[in-house]
Structure formats: structure tokens, C-alpha cells
Structure 1
């Protein structure tokens, strides 16, 4: 049975329940299984040796999620080959691919948590009420130790882009 955490976050001011542990800087990042497309899955090991910026969005088809993913796509081009930027959402891989094509997003790797919310549960950001992952940022060093975490208190707000990018730069 997964741990449930209440009074951590809201959606438009209404409390929501998160499933999974509260991860902090200094913790070892949990592994995950995410879909790159319908047939291909990836895990944390697929990005071994790289600094990882994991940008979690509830749904790519909303304004803040769209802006967040575009912003990190822009930043990814400036961070170099030692960094991988992953965007995780519960959207189907088809929707993610369609959105990326329409938005011209090509630097961010889109990964889907649609199948079993494996990532959301492992990283403590699965929203019980919606079956979506809460907007959050995780920065992992090349050895998969968490260097930075931001779990948004209000689902509809933007993350602190500068702080996340700064956390990545501090690891380079």
C-alpha cells in the first residue's frame, strides 16, 4: 500500500492527496518505468552518467504545462550534452508526440506515466483524485542522487525555472 500525503498541495485552492514518499535533496532517486512510445519503455538507467532535469507536468495540453515544457526545451539547448531534460506526464505517448511536433519541441525527451503511474508513485507526486502527476521538478546528479526538488504547492502555478536550471548548472 502506497503512502498517502494530504495537505501538501492544492488544485485551484482545493486540497489534493499525493501518493508516494516525499523525496528530498540528498535522497537516492528511485527507479522508474516510463513509456517513450506505446511499445518502448525506459528506466532511470537509460540516462546513466548524465545530469537529469525531470520536469513533471499534469497534462501537456494545458497552458502552464505547455509553457513549462517549452521553457525547459529552450534551456536544454544551453546546458550541453552532459544533461538530459525529461518531461513526464500521464498523457498518452501519441498526445505527447503530437504536441511536440506542433510545438517544435525537440530537445526534451517526453515520457509517459499513463500505464500504471509508476513514476508518480515512486516520486510521491501522483494525485489520488485525478490519476495525474503533480507539477514538480527533480534534478538528479550523474549518480542519480537528488540535488534539487520542487513540488508545487498549487498545481496551476509555474515552477521556479531559474532555481531548477541553477541546480543543474551547479552539477556541471
Structure 2
């Protein structure tokens, strides 16, 4: 299981660690309009799944903006999903204020379905730990990063490279 800290304090992750080569686990999260979204809703596309503790923090804001900017270069056959436990209403408001239009923000607040399926739910905080998953168009996981200190940035370049490689 991935070992992470949050503000240097060790945290317990709930669920199963996902590894490269695994079939991506399905999940059910909520879109900003409260409609359910699953992994299968984007079947046939390469998925970059960016996981953040809360969009209302500097690092999470920067991470989501970075992938929103990268969307154009990645093409229409790539879907970028940002998953957090923020309420769908807060995600929608944040996206409007930040001008985010190429990333779909999704809320796992209701069931922790994504958090448990991908082993990113922080037991002590009921937040998701910062992580990145790339899933190819055949639902195979091709890249995983569990950021060891949840308040730090992921490796953006490696994630973007992994998306480009998964498309080929």
C-alpha cells in the first residue's frame, strides 16, 4: 500500500492500491449537476485522472489549472478528470471562477467509491490524497503516481508523457 503524509503527518489510505498493468477499477462519482459518472462513461478514450484533496487549496488549484492548459495539446481522444471530495456545487463554482473548461471535475464526497477503488481515501481526513492515474482506451492503467506528501505537486511532465504514450 502506498505510504503518504499530509503536512508531514503519516496518514492511512483506505482501499486497494492500483498499479501499472491493472485493469482500471470502475467507480461512481458525481458530476457538478449531481449526475452519476463512471469510468465507463469515457470508455474508448485515454483518461488522465488527477486526484486532489480540495480545489480550494493552492496546490490543487495549480494542478487542475495545469492539466486544463494541457488538454488542448492532448487532443479530443483524451479525457481529463479531476476527482476530489469537494461538493459538486463548490466544484462548479470553482471551475467558473477559475475559467476551467477542459477538465471535468467530479465529486467523490457521497460514497468514496473512487477513493476506495483506487486506494486514495485518507481515513483520518475523509479527503483524497494527491495522485495521478493514466488509463488507456482499453481500461488498462499505464501510469500511477501516489504523491508521497499530499501537499506537494505531482510530476506533471511524466503524467503528460504517459498520456501521450497511452494514446499510441
The TM-score with structure 2 as length reference comes to: 0.97
CA offsets 1:75-127 (integer angstroms, 9 cap, x no match): 01110011000000000000000000000000000100010111000000000
Task: Name the residue aligned to 2:55.
Answer: 60
1:109 partnered with 2:104: yes
1:170 partnered with 2:165: yes
1:153 partnered with 2:153: no
- Runs of 5+ consecutive residues of structure 2 not aligned to the other structure: none
Task: Name the residue aligned to 2:78.
Answer: 83
CA distance in 1, matches of 2:13, 2:31: 24
Structure 1 residue matching 2:66: 3-state secondary structure: helix
CA distance in 2, matches of 1:130, 1:32: 20
- Runs of 5+ consecutive residues of structure 1 not aligned to the other structure: none
Structure 2 residue matching 1:171: 3-state secondary structure: helix
Equivalences for 1:31-46 in 2 at 5 Å? 31-46=26-41
Give the count of matched residue pairs. Answer: 167
**Cα RMSD (Å):** 1.0
Task: Name the residue aligned to 1:132.
Answer: 127
Shift of 1:38: 4.8
The TM-score with structure 1 as length reference comes to: 0.95
Among 48, 60, 69, which residue is 1:74 paired with? 69
1:9 partnered with 2:9: no
CA distance in 2, matches of 1:105, 1:38: 16
CA distance in 1, matches of 2:71, 2:126: 28
Shift of 1:39: 3.2
CA distance in 2, matches of 1:87, 1:43: 13
CA offsets 1:46-83 (integer angstroms, 9 cap, x no match): 00000000000000000000000000000011100110
